Amino acid sequence: MVRKLLLTRRSPARWLLAALTAVAATAGVLPGTAHAAENVVGGTRAAQGEFPFMVRLSMGCGGALYSPRLVLTAAHCVSGTGTNTSITATLGVVDLQSSSRITVRSNYVYRAPGYNGNGKDWALIRLATPVTGLATLPIATTTAYDSGTFTVAGWGAAREGGAQQRYLLKATVPYVADATCDNSYPDLIPSDEICAGYTAGGVDTCQGDSGGPMFRRDASNAWIQVGIVSWGNGCARPNYPGVYTQVSTFASAIASAAASLGG
């Protein structure tokens, strides 16, 4: 099983690789690996302003703007809780090389308490200054939206082992029931994780999409985040859906952490 960063799910070396590739990630280009984490495979280019809450992080992950000063991402994308000024967030554009892009440094990271590589795959990154003029992405607080068809987006690879993308890609993926997903992933944690993808494969998140949001429309037709790109077996392989952090499970903990960070 592989994280949709660049390393295996439980690899103790993933932080070293993340550090070595951080500079390339900032430019939106990362080398591929044979069994990489997810980017959007089978996707199409997003329109400018379509998903204003999308964030690209310099360690090679994605994220979503939870509040003007906080980015929600995956725990496996960060090294731990504490002061951290090494991460650059790029926002406000689909083209990472656009002169209109907004870049903000981090000043603190909060990683889910008890995270050990199995479940609890969420983290908050506090930005040094708040971002104005961009919509945030509310998170699901109940399981009401944890089914149906979801949207995923990211700057990750467009094929397994491929290069990171300059332009934001998007795709839709259907919910996969826990019992079905467990057939593909016996180590799935149903209370912490939610699966989405096609039996035939072909559409998925991929390497470099880790930490990005999986979202859908709520009852008011507004976007709501239901998942965080976490891990999977390769990218878009048949019978291997993507595995996402089930945001509703951690909504209270995320809100509490956000409050403690002043966000």
> For the chain, what's the residue count?
263
Please say if 35 is a catalytic residue. Answer: no
Q: Exactly one of 67, 106, 121, 209 is catalytic; which is it?
A: 121
Give the list of residues 6+ apart from residue 146 with CB closer than 8 angstroms, or none.
Answer: 140, 175, 194, 226, 246, 248
Please say if 76 is a catalytic residue. Answer: yes
Q: Exactly one of 58, 67, 210, 248 is catalytic; which is it?
A: 210
Task: Give CA torsion, residues 156, 212, 261, 91, to 10 deg.
Answer: 60
Pairwise CA distance, residues 208 & 87, whole Å = 15
Give the list of residues 6+ apart from residue 211 with CB closer than 8 angstroms, or none.
Answer: 5, 57, 61, 62, 63, 73, 74, 77, 123, 228, 229
Please say if 248 is a catalytic residue. Answer: no
Pairwise CA distance, residues 87 & 8, whole Å = 22
What residues does 108 pair with on adjacent strands?
A: 83, 126
Q: Exactly one of 58, 67, 76, 146 is catalytic; which is it?
A: 76
Pairwise CA distance, residues 236 & 112, whole Å = 28
CB 195 within 8 A of CB 228: no
In the chain, beta strands by DSSP E: 2-3, 38-41, 44-45, 54-57, 61-67, 70-73, 82-83, 88-91, 102-111, 123-127, 149-154, 169-176, 193-196, 204-206, 213-217, 223-232, 242-246
Pairwise CA distance, residues 122 & 46, whole Å = 25
Catalytic residues: 76, 121, 210
